[in-house]
C-alpha cells in the first residue's frame, strides 16, 4: 500500500472541484457528498463506459430507469421491511450510535462477519468492550436502514413509501413488462443506474460509505439449472469491466461471502474487494438471488411472473444472478489508484494517472502568454477545433505555464497543448504528456 492517505485524496478532490461536502455552508449533512464539475464528469464517464460495456455492446441486456419511489408492497415482498437491518449499539452515556460489527472489526476482532447479534453481544460483554469514548455499550438492536417517507397529502400507513435502498427491485417489478414488450430469449438481463438510499449507522471514509449512493446493477434472468456457469461468466465480465477502468488486477480480490453474512436473498455471493488507501474493502458484488425476488413478487402481487420458453418446454420462475457495482466506490477506486506522486526539478508533483477515456478533461489548450493577442487568437482557434473533436477540452490561461501544468496534472488531464511564437511561424504546437511530463512538437493537423 502507498503512503497516500485518504485525507490527501479528499483534499485534492475538494481543491480541484471533484467533490464537496453535502450542504457544506450549513455545516454539512453526514453521509452526503456533492459531486463538483470534475467529479460529475468522471462519474459520468464511468457510467458511460459501463453502459457501453454491458448494454450497448450486447444484445441480451435491456436498460431501464425505474422510479425511486415504489409502492410499499414492493419492499414488504422483497423482505427489506423486515430484513434490511444493521446491528446498532449505543454508548449509554453519550448516546452516540455505532454499527456493532464495524466497531468489533475496528478492534481487530476476527470472524465478526459470521457472528449473530447474540454472539456479538456476548463478545462485547465477555471482553468488556467499551464505546470509542470509553463508556458502556447497550445491547445490540436491529436498525432498519430504509428511509421512510409519505407519498401524497395524507400521512398514514397506506401512504408510507421508502427511498429505494437498492435499484434491483425496480428491475424485478418490470420483468414482465420487458418480457411482454421484447420477448427476449433466456438468459437475458435488465440493467439500470441510479440513486439508492441507506440510512447507514456510521457513514464514513469519504464517498465509500454514504447515505445517498449510486448503484449500477444488472439482474440476469436464467434457468436455475444454469446458475453456476452463468455466475462464473458474469463474475468474469465484472472483473473485465474493472480492468477496463484501469484498476490494477493485483488490487482486486474476489472474496466468497460466508452464509451468515450474505444478504437475506442470496444463496451464493462473491464480493470483489479493492485495495483502497483505507484498506481492502468491498467494491462490488455478484450474488445468486435464486427465484427469491420474482417468486415473492408473484405471490404478493398475484401476477404470473413465469417465463414461457419458446421451445414449448415448461414455464418457470426465472432465477437471478446479480452483478452489482457501487458507482461512488468505483469513482473512489479510480481516483485512489490513479493518485500518483513524483518529483520534478526537486519539487513534489501530484498527478492523477487516469485512463484517457475517464479523464474529466481530455486536453487543456493554452497560449504561452495571455497578454499577446496574436498568441491568444491562434490558441482560441486550436481550442475550438479540439473542443469540437474531443468534447471535454478546456481553455487554461491562468497563471504561468508551470502552474497550469501542475493544475492539469492534479485533475488528470492527459495532454496539455501550448501555442507559442513558433506556432505562428510553422503551425506547430507543444504537446505535453501528463505521465512522462515530456513535451514534443506536433503540427496542429496532427493533434
Which lies closer to ligand ATP via its Cβ, residue 319 or residue 329? Answer: 329
- Cα separation, 417 vs 444, whole angstroms: 10
Contact 257, 346 (CB under 8 A): no
Which lies closer to ligand ATP via its Cβ, residue 39 or residue 285? Answer: 285
284 makes contact with ligand ATP (CB under 6 A): yes
Among 88, 210, 294, 358, contact with ligand ATP (rule: CB under 6 A): 210
285 makes contact with ligand ATP (CB under 6 A): yes
Cβ contacts of 342 within 8 Å, gap of 6 or more? 348, 349, 351
**Piece of 156-164, 246-254, 276-284, 363-371 that binds ligand ATP (CB under 6 A):** 276-284
Among 198, 297, 319, 432, contact with ligand ATP (rule: CB under 6 A): 198
Smallest gap, in angstroms, from Cβ of residue 176 to ligand ATP?
A: 24
**Piece of 110-118, 283-291, 300-308, 366-374 that binds ligand ATP (CB under 6 A):** 283-291
- Cα separation, 425 vs 433, whole angstroms: 23
60 makes contact with ligand ATP (CB under 6 A): no
Residue 273 neighbours by CB distance under 10 Å: 17
Which lies closer to ligand ATP via its Cβ, residue 206 or residue 405? Answer: 206
**Piece of 55-63, 110-118, 179-187, 281-289 that binds ligand ATP (CB under 6 A):** 281-289
- Cα separation, 317 vs 315, whole angstroms: 7
The site that binds ligand ATP (CB under 6 A) totals a number of residues, namely: 15
Which lies closer to ligand ATP via its Cβ, residue 235 or residue 350? Answer: 235
Which lies closer to ligand ATP via its Cβ, residue 215 or residue 296? Answer: 215
Distance of CA 210 to the CA centre of its chain: 11
194 makes contact with ligand ATP (CB under 6 A): no
Which lies closer to ligand ATP via its Cβ, residue 261 or residue 291? Answer: 261
Which lies closer to ligand ATP via its Cβ, residue 329 or residue 434? Answer: 329
Among 8, 60, 282, 397, contact with ligand ATP (rule: CB under 6 A): 282
Per-residue HEC secondary structure of 50-64 comes to HHHHHHHCCCCEEEC
Which lies closer to ligand ATP via its Cβ, residue 293 or residue 410? Answer: 293
Contact 43, 65 (CB under 8 A): no
105 makes contact with ligand ATP (CB under 6 A): no
Among 215, 296, 408, 418, contact with ligand ATP (rule: CB under 6 A): 215
Among 12, 104, 213, 364, contact with ligand ATP (rule: CB under 6 A): 213
Enumerate residues 130-189 that contact ligand ATP by CB under 6 A: 166
**Piece of 282-290, 357-365, 383-391, 432-440 that binds ligand ATP (CB under 6 A):** 282-290
39 makes contact with ligand ATP (CB under 6 A): no
Binding mask 302-331 for ligand ATP (x = CB under 6 A): ----------------------x-x-xx--
Which lies closer to ligand ATP via its Cβ, residue 283 or residue 361? Answer: 283
Distance of CA 447 to the CA centre of its chain: 33
Instruction: Please state, in angstroms and as integers, the Cα–Cα distance from residue 376 to each residue in 233, 361, 382, 390, 443, following that order.
Output: 53, 20, 10, 20, 17
209 makes contact with ligand ATP (CB under 6 A): yes
Smallest gap, in angstroms, from Cβ of residue 122 to ligand ATP?
A: 22
**Piece of 66-74, 227-235, 243-251, 278-286 that binds ligand ATP (CB under 6 A):** 278-286
Smallest gap, in angstroms, from Cβ of residue 23 to ligand ATP?
A: 17
**Piece of 175-183, 280-288, 337-345, 363-371 that binds ligand ATP (CB under 6 A):** 280-288
| Contact residues: ligand ATP, CB under 6 A | 166, 198, 200, 209-210, 213, 215, 282-285, 324, 326, 328-329
Amino acid at each position: 500500500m502507498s503512503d497516500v492517505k485518504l485525507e490527501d485524496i479528499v483534499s485534492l478532490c475538494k481543491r480541484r472541484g471533484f467533490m464537496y461536502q453535502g450542504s457544506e455552508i450549513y455545516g454539512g449533512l453526514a453521509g452526503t457528498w456533492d459531486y463538483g464539475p470534475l467529479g460529475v464528469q468522471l462519474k459520468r464517464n464511468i457510467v458511460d463506459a459501463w453502459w457501453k460495456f454491458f448494454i450497448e455492446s450486447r444484445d441480451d441486456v435491456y436498460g431501464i430507469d425505474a422510479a425511486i419511489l415504489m409502492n410499499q408492497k414492493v419492499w414488504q415482498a422483497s423482505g427489506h421491511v423486515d430484513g434490511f437491518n444493521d446491528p446498532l449499539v449505543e454508548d449509554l452515556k453519550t448516546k452516540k450510535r455505532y454499527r456493532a460489527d464495524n466497531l468489533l472489526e475496528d478492534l481487530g476482532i476476527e470472524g465478526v462477519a459470521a457472528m449473530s447479534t447474540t454472539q456479538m453481544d456476548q463478545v462485547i460483554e465477555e471482553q468488556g468492550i467499551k464505546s470509542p469514548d470509553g463508556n458502556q455499550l447497550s445491547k445490540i438492536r436491529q436498525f432498519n436502514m430504509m428511509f421512510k417517507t409519505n407519498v401524497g397529502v395524507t400521512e398514514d400507513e397506506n401512504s408510507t413509501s421508502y427511498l429505494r435502498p437498492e435499484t434491483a427491485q425496480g428491475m424485478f417489478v418490470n420483468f414482465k413488462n420487458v418480457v411482454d414488450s421484447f420477448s427476449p430469449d433466456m438468459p437475458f438481463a435488465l440493467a439500470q443506474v441510479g440513486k439508492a438510499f441507506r440510512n447507514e449507522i456510521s457513514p464514513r471514509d469519504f464517498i465509500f460509505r454514504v447515505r445517498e449512493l449510486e448503484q449500477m446493477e444488472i439482474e440476469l434472468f436464467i434457468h436455475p439449472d444454469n446458475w453456476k456457469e452463468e455466475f462464473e461468466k458474469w463474475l468474469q465480465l465484472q472483473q473485465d469491466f474493472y480492468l477496463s477502468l484501469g484498476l490494477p488486477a493485483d488490487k482486486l480480490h474476489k472474496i466468497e461471502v460466508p452464509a451468515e453474512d450474505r444478504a437475506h436473498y442470496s444463496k451464493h455471493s462473491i464480493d470483489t474487494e479493492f485495495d483502497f488507501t483505507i484498506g481492502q474493502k468491498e467494491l462490488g458484488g455478484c450474488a445468486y438471488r435464486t427465484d427469491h425476488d420474482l417468486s415473492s413478487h408473484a405471490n404478493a402481487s398475484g401476477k404470473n411472473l413465469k417465463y414461457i420458453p419458446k421451445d414449448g418446454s415448461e414455464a418457470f420462475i426465472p432465477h437471478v444472478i446479480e452483478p452489482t457495482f457501487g458507482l461512488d466506490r468505483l469513482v473512489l477506486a479510480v481516483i485512489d489508484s490513479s493518485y500518483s506522486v513524483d518529483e520534478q526539478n526537486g519539487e513534489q508533483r501530484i498527478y492523477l494517472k487516469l485512463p484517457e477515456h475517464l479523464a474529466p478533461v481530455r486536453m487543456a489548450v493554452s497560449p504561452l502568454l495571455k497578454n499577446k493577442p496574436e498568441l491568444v487568437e491562434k490558441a482560441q482557434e486550436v481550442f475550438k477545433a479540439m473542443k469540437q473533436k474531443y468534447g471535454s477540452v478546456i481553455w487554461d490561461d491562468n497563471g504561468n505555464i508551470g502552474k497550469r501544468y501542475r493544475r492539469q496534472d492534479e485533475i488528470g488531464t492527459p495532454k496539455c497543448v501550448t501555442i507559442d511564437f513558433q506556432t505562428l511561424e510553422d503551425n506547430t504546437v507543444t504537446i505535453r504528456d501528463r505521465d512522462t511530463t515530456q513535451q514534443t512538437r506536433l503540427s496542429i493537423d496532427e493533434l
